[in-house]
Amino acid sequence: MIKPHGSDVLNPLLVEDPQLHQQLLTEAETLPSLLLNSAAAANAVMLGAGYFNPLTGYMNLADALSVAENLHTVDGLFWPVPVVNLVEDVSAIAGASRIALRDPNTAGNPVMAIMTLSAIETVSDAQIETMTQQIFGTLDPQHPGVATFGHLGRHLVSGDIQVLNLSYFQADFPDTFRTASEIRNEIAERGWNKVVAFQTRNPMHRAHEELCHMAMARLGADGVVVHMLLGKLKEGDIPASVRDDCIRKMVELYFPENTVMVTGYGFDMLYAGPREAVLHAVFRQNMGATHLIVGRDHAGVGDYYGAFDAQTIFDEKVPAGALEIEIFRADHTAFSKKLGRVVMMNEAEDHSKDDFVLLSGTKVRQMLGDGIAPPPEFSRPEVAKILMDYYQLEG
- Residue 229: exposed, middle, or buried by beta-carbon count in 10 A (0-12, 13-18, 19+)? buried
- Residue 21: exposed, middle, or buried by beta-carbon count in 10 A (0-12, 13-18, 19+)? middle
Please identify every residue annotated as catalytic.
201-202
The dihedral over CA atoms of 253, 257, 260, 265, expressed in degrees to the nearest 10, equals 80
Buried b (16+ CB within 10 A) or exposed e, 265-282: bbbbbbbbbbbbbbbbbb
Q: How far is CA 57 from CA 39, 91, 118, 255, 293, in A?
A: 14, 21, 10, 39, 28
* Gap between the Cα atoms of 123 and 188, Å rounded: 44
Count of CA atoms in the C-beta half-sphere (13 A) of 196: 24
User: 222, 188 in Cβ contact below 8 A?
Assistant: no
User: 164, 114 in Cβ contact below 8 A?
Assistant: yes
* Gap between the Cα atoms of 60 and 252, Å rounded: 45
| E strands, the chain, in order | 33-35, 57-58, 86-87, 98-102, 111-122, 155-163, 195-200, 223-229, 260-265, 291-294, 326-329, 333-336, 341-344, 356-357
